[in-house]
Amino acid sequence: MTPAASQGSRSGFLYAASAYLLWGALPLYFVILEPAGPFEIVAMRILFSLVFCGVLLSILRDWRGFFALFRSKRTMLFMTLAAVFIFINWQTYVIATLTGHVIEASLGYFINPIVTVLFGVVFLRERLRPLQWASVGVSGIAVLVLWVGYGNFPLIALILAFSFGLYGLMKNRVGGNVGAISGLTLETLFLAPVAAIVLVGVAATTGIVFGTAGAGNTTLLVASGIVTAVPLLLFASASRRLPLVYMGLFQYVTPLLQFLVGVFILREPMPPERWAGFLLVWAALVLLTIDMVRRARTARRRARSMA
């Protein structure tokens, strides 16, 4: 590896670790936003993310690239769908966090790589390898164990896994045509009217907390836009510097941190049946990781033989 490549790899690891650590700490951030409710938090997150992204686009002088996205009907269609799915994901996640379901939310992000594999079969006509089939099967058994043994159908986990998987699929369809900042700006722009309607509903029912619960709470709600955008930008920087196999391994960091927060900080219950379900999910992820590493090694050997 050349010195430049080595430096890029080290910075890539730093960016990836920072992004996933920040995402893993999100449950604690949302908890300290109370007494704001989950609908107000997500609405504020959307609006202040839009403001923050607008500032970034101005600093980087990339408004021309942003407005260029509007010329493609295909891009607009997939980005609109992406906005819908990320809204479902954000809203479900914040509700889960504020109602004592952080562990179940972490399960959703543990399952997400397996859901992504399934989407590859259904939408992209990909063929699963034996270890991938085994991983899908074991994760299906895990859902049954959590449903029957633990006595609770993991609805939150499945909504999070499928909404984020569909979000990723929509982003995949636009490929590299949409940058990280432009993409988030467009998504939050699409969602801004929804956020405004939600805030009207909150004001008419429970009342808006923003600006009434002290300077600290107000500042944290404003900062939710930065908290949303910064990990995404770090992730985008990491993905340009690291091989896909490393990015695939890093994606387990966030749900693991969320799981640890739920168990050891928020003290959510973990009876034996729930442990059994999670152990099955982790076993499925081990199988998926082995397959991913094998595939990466095979690709490297082929590249060397052709060199």
Please tell me what DSSP assigns to residue 35: T
Rg (CA), the chain: 20
For the segment 46-58, what is each residue's pLDDT rounded down to a tens digit? 999 999 999 999 9
For the segment 120-151, what is each residue's pLDDT rounded down to a tens digit? 888 877 788 888 899 999 999 999 999 988 88
Whether residue 4 is contained in a domain is answered as: no
Residue 176: domain span: 9-306
**Considering its fold, how many domains does the chain have in total?**
1
Whether residue 2 is contained in a domain is answered as: no
Whether residue 32 is contained in a domain is answered as: yes
Whether residue 3 is contained in a domain is answered as: no
Q: Dig out the tokens for 146 from the structure.
A: 């959590």
Label residues 27-37 b or e (16+ Cβ within 10 Å = b).
beebeebeebb
User: For residue 5, how far is the Cα from the chain centroid?
Assistant: 28
Q: Which residues of the chain have pLDDT under 70?
A: 1-8, 244-245, 307
Q: What is the pLDDT of residue 245?
A: 67
Whether residue 196 is contained in a domain is answered as: yes
Locate all alpha helices (DSSP H) within the chain, ordered by sequence. Answer: 3-24, 26-31, 38-60, 63-68, 73-98, 102-124, 130-144, 155-174, 180-204, 215-239, 244-250, 253-260, 272-306
Which of 84, 91, 51 has the alpha carbon at shortest distance from 181? 51
Question: pTM of whole model > 0.85?
Answer: yes
Whether residue 1 is contained in a domain is answered as: no
Please work out, in degrees rounded to the nearest 5, the angle formed at the alpha carbon of residue 118 by the alpha carbons of 116 and 119.
65
Whether residue 97 is contained in a domain is answered as: yes
